[in-house]
Amino acid sequence: MRLGIKLLLINQNSQNKINNKKNVLIYGAGDAGRQLVIALENSPEFYVVGFLDDNKQLYRQFLIGKTVYPAEKLKEIALKKM
């Protein structure tokens, strides 16, 4: 019973931390963009929503658990995800 309550509280606390973070999109799904996602994973301030990229072959793929979106749809994606 204690373990269940502890897991519930940890999960709720983790969700609250995510909700207080600023959502960001990273432009570029190459090496530098992926390194930035890894660096921001532990950030108390930012939550990476996904990548923007010009490479059509990458659209709708997942890199490091984040979706790659077309750069020309920035406004639409920002309205949905931010």
Q: Which residue has better confidence, 41 or 16?
A: 41
Residue 80 has pLDDT above 60, yes or no: yes
And the tokens for 45? 């301030």
Q: Is residue 55 situated within a structural domain?
A: yes
Mean pLDDT value across the chain: 77
Domain residues for 62? 23-81
DSSP 42: T
**CATH number of the domain bearing residue 68:** 3.40.50.720
Q: What is the pLDDT of residue 19?
A: 65
Q: Is residue 54 situated within a structural domain?
A: yes
Q: d(Cα 27, Cα 70) in Å, to the nearest integer? A: 10
Number of independent structural domains in the chain? 1
Q: What is the pLDDT of residues 14-34, one digit of tens each?
A: 554 556 888 888 888 989 989
Q: Is residue 36 situated within a structural domain?
A: yes
Plot region of 32 (φ>0 → left; ψ -120 to 50 → alpha; else → beta): alpha
**Segment 55-80 mean pLDDT:** 86
Residue 7 has pLDDT above 70, yes or no: no
